[in-house]
Amino acid sequence: MNTQATQSPQFYLTAPAQCPYLEAERERKVFTHLVGPRAGEMNDLLTQGGFRRSQNIAYRPACENCRACVSVRIVAEEFEKPRSLRRIISRNSDLAVAERPAIATAEQYDLFRTYLDSRHQRGGMADMTIDDYAVMVEETHVETRLFEYRVSTGRLGEEGELVAVALSDILVDGLSMVYSFFNPAYVKRSLGSYMIVDHVSRAQRLSLPYVYLGYWVKGSQKMDYKKRFQPQEHLTGKGWERAKVEEPVE
C-alpha cells in the first residue's frame, strides 16, 4: 500500500451561484487547499496564475459563459503618480502605518464591522462574527501580514485612531492584497487607494516587482478604481501582458 502523500494539489469546482459583480451572470470557481509545508510555494505559483487566496483556499473564476474577471498586478518599479494620487498621498500624510503579524484584534473587527455595515450590507461577508473575522485573518499557512493605518497623535508611544487595515501576503515576486477595509466616514481620504499606493511603495523598498490587486471586472463600476494604478499587467491567455486601459481621470 502506498502511503506517500501526493505532492500535487487537488482542484475542485464549485456549483453555479449568483455573480456578485454582474447581475446577469452566474459564477463558478475552481479551488484548491493551501496547506502543509509547500503552501507558500503553491501560493506564489497560483497567484502568478491568476488565483486569489481566502484563508487556506486558493481560487479563481471558472465561469462557463463569462470571462469578465481579469487578474491585475501593478508594475511597482514603473509606478506612476498622477495628480489625483499625489493629492491622496498628501491628504494622508498624517497616517502612521504598522506592519503586524496576522493576529486578529477586537479593534480591527470593530472597524471591519463598520466597513461592512456601510459598504457591503448584502454581501457574502455581511454576517461575519468576530470569530469569523479571526479565521479570515489567522487561518493561513503562507507568509501573511496585517498593515494597520492610524491617525498619528504626534506623541511617542501613543496610538491614534485605527482608520484602515490591509491583510496581505508576501510573495516571492510581490505583495498580494488579500483584503482591505477602512472607516467609510473618511471618504475624502480615499483610504482604499492610499493603501494600494502604500503597498506599491513597500514593494519598491523590498525590490519586489509587483503588487497583486485581484480581479478587475469589466462592466462593474465598483472595480473601475483599479484602472488608475498604472502601469499594470493583465493575465491573458498568452500570459501577463501590459494592459491597455483608459487613462485615469484627474
Q: Which of 21, 57, 17 is nearest to 222 (CA)?
A: 21
Contacts of 224 (CB under 8 A, 6+ apart): none
Q: Which pLDDT band holds residue 246 (cuts at 50, 70, 90)? A: low
**pTM strictly above 0.85:** yes
Exposure string of 121-158, with b = 16+ CB inside 10 Å and e = fewer, is eeeeeeebeeeebbebbeebbbebbbbbbbbeeeeeee
Our separate counts of H helices and E strands in the chain read: 5, 14
Task: Name the percent of the chain lying above pLDDT 70.
Answer: 92
Could you read off the pLDDT of 17-41 as tens digits, one per residue?
Answer: 998 888 889 999 999 999 999 999 9
What is the maximal distance between C-alpha atoms in the chain? 66
Weakest-pLDDT range from 2-11, 50-59, 92-101: 2-11
21 Ramachandran zone, left/alpha/beta (phi>0; psi -120 to 50): alpha
Could you read off the pLDDT of 157-194 as tens digits, one per residue?
Answer: 678 999 999 999 999 999 999 999 999 999 999 999 99
Could you read off the pLDDT of 102-120 as tens digits, one per residue?
Answer: 999 999 999 999 999 987 6
